[in-house]
Structure 1
């Protein structure tokens, strides 16, 4: 976080404005892990992170993440982003922490699975580092994410991932569905029926 002031100045000089923290939540400074900025004309939001997750959540060190980074080819300048396994676990942790109220987090997981971006080698690393992203509830939260992706987005879940699926992860998925319905005011009767009858038949 030592370079944060410099980054903040650069971003605000480009026309971005810092978003205020919620007035209804006491966001203690030691728990903060990012700051959000919004450009009023471009309608673009940028988040500056110095941690992946709020403290005191465990997470891999920066050096570990940097070793597994990927490079985007979309721009003329190198843009680095999380490796496959770290991105997958981050999406699971982030989505579960917020009750999956934004389906785009599941959409990202759906795309990673459909593109087969988690290779056999990645699965080894995934198993090794999932605790550092998700803590003791790692398998339950991964299972919840897989169930939600399968139910809501028809994501094909291969048999090698069935080890994450159990009664507790189904219960967590049910709670998330309720949260999604309440926030979005959406009718998901067919999804609730699928969840009630879920015995793994919607996995491939």
Structure 2
């Protein structure tokens, strides 16, 4: 049985809303068997991406993502590093890949869960215990990350929308030919009314 959730349009600047299907509430279907409290909904310009969070693998990281989503931290944040055939990275309010939230870093929760297409992992610096707010979504299998980065979720619906995220890395040459794509709104499914 599929549960129906209704997402209100993002209450953000009109430029963030351009490209969304309509000015009316957008209906999405939450796949059967998902726990709404551990389901993340990332609204992109082309529609919603549904992610099953994995507190069984990374309880501290999942809790961090949920806290930041509930604070509205991720709303409007750009995908600052998007590499064809690899991943799309976001979660930095500065949009440079150097920023994070005001919360303390989260210690590593590495697991044996492999990085496959649609896996969400926490970005970090060289220190394994430096994850904060940045994360990435894999476009393809990335086994070289296995056991070195924390897996905290998996896309279960909307991977075709993730595939449409504009490629680029503003840090590569200091300029971007077109504005990067962004997360319009990020919420926990149980909070959507």
Query: Above 0.5 in TM-score?
Result: no
- The structure whose residues are more often helix, as a share, is 1
TM-score normalised per structure 2: 0.30
Task: Report which structure shows greater RCO (CA 8 Å, sep ≥6).
Answer: 2
- The structure whose residues are more often strand, as a share, is 2
